[in-house]
Amino acid sequence: MNTLMNVPKNGSLANTNLNTNFQNWSNWIDDIFNTNLPTERTSNFNKMFSSPKVNIKEEEEAFVIEMSVPGFKKSDFNITIDQQTLSISSKSEESNEDKNKNYNLKEFTYTNFKRNFTLPETVNTDNIDAKYSEGILYLNLPKKEEAKQKPARTIKIL
């Protein structure tokens, strides 16, 4: 192995960078073993404590919420509205019946979340509807009639 060393001004050939080199090597080893490698165990752990990601867009007639929640069933969701707060929550517990009771490791899958959204006064809360398709929960939040954009019009001068 070729190593280049700086010779200090005092003429000593002692490598004063050994500590620095060791720290770099140690950091490299730590990086290998402390990386966040995706495993089944860590992905299930993260599912329990993370909130699903959402897209919210405003269209002419309504606001649309798209929530990424793959692996759920329609019956897993609870969507409520209280005053101007929209709450979307879910509890999903998966238990696989194992005919062979002599297992050494069996991990349970339990996922839950709750997201709250404060709705603008312009939302018609009586006509909100939801649809779940291919891992995406869609909520359509129609606007009140007076909040909808009206097309531009020309005013005639008398």
pTM of the complete model:
0.58
Look over the chain and give the mean of its residue pLDDT values, rounded to a whole number: 75
| pLDDT (0 to 100) of residue 99 | 59
Residue 132: both structure tokens together:
């779940």
Query: Does residue 64 lie within any of the structural domains?
Result: yes
- DSSP H or E stretch at residue 72: none
CATH number of the domain enclosing 77: 2.60.40.790
Domain range for residue 115?
53-94+109-147
| pLDDT (0 to 100) of residue 97 | 58
pLDDT, tens digit, 9 for 90 and up, residues 103-144: 666 666 677 899 999 999 999 999 999 999 999 999 999 999
Query: Does residue 33 lie within any of the structural domains?
Result: no
Domain count, the chain: 1
Q: What is the dihedral of CA 119, 123, 128, 130, to 10 degrees?
A: -50
Query: Does residue 120 lie within any of the structural domains?
Result: yes
3-state DSSP assignment of residue 90 = strand
